Amino acid sequence: MTIHLASNKIGKQGARQLADALRNNKTLLTLDLRWNKIEKEGAQQLAHALRCNTTLTTLQVSGNEIGNEGAKEFADALRTNT
Q: Please report, for the domain that includes residue 59, its CATH number.
A: 3.80.10.10
Give the separation between CA 65 and CA 9, rounded to whole angstroms. Answer: 12
Beta-bridge mates of residue 3 = 31
Per-residue confidence (pLDDT) for residue 8, from 0 to 100: 97
CA Rg value for the chain: 11
Domain that residue 59 falls in: 2-81
What pLDDT digit, counting tens, does each position of 25-72 carry? 999 999 999 999 999 999 999 999 999 999 999 999 999 999 999 999
Give the separation between CA 81 and CA 23, rounded to whole angstroms. Answer: 12
| Count of domains forming the chain | 1
User: Does residue 82 carry a pLDDT above 80?
Assistant: no
Confidence of residue 23 (pLDDT cuts 50, 70, 90): very high
pTM: 0.92
